[in-house]
Structure 1
Amino acid sequence: MSGLARALFGVIASTLAGTCVVVALVAGVTGLWPLLGAAALGGVVALPVSALVARGLGG
């Protein structure tokens, strides 16, 4: 993973993790572990997304 992708990962991961948690809350999910799972899912999805964004930006 390039340096640009690593720099973008923090922003993209927090955005996707927050979005996944909000979607889970709107869907009626309650409880700590399902919400942590939704946040972790956002973090995992952010890995290839940050690489794709960095490639698109030319890094």
Structure 2
Amino acid sequence: MLRLALLLHTIISTTLMGTAIVIALVAGYGTLTPILIAAALGFVVAIPVSITVARALA
């Protein structure tokens, strides 16, 4: 299940990171720091999401 979770994390994290970056840009935060924070937040949030999806699939 760990392999599946890691594979899913690559897909889910890029999706959530992109979504968070778009939200930050639409909200008017166009500098580097908010974009990096949004990307890091998307990466961290993707960890439990990918584990949950892997458990549902396995």
For Structure 1 versus Structure 2, the TM-score category normalised by the shorter chain is over 0.9
The alpha carbon displacement at 1:10 in A equals 0.4
- TM-score, scaled relative to structure 2: 0.94
The alpha carbon displacement at 1:30 in A equals 1.7
Q: Distance in 2 between matches of 1:9 and 1:52?
A: 11
- TM-score, scaled relative to structure 1: 0.93
Deviating above 4 A after TM superposition, structure 1's stretches of 4 or more consecutive aligned residues are none
The alpha carbon displacement at 1:3 in A equals 0.9
Percent of aligned pairs sharing the same letter: 57
* Partner AA of 2:7 in structure 1: A
* Residue aligning to 2:5: 5
In structure 2, stretches of 5+ residues that fail to align are: none
* Partner AA of 1:25 in structure 2: L
In structure 1, stretches of 5+ residues that fail to align are: none
Task: Calculate the aligned-residue CA RMSD, in Å.
Answer: 1.0
Q: How many pairs are equivalent?
A: 58
> Are 2:52 and 1:52 equivalent residues in the alignment?
yes
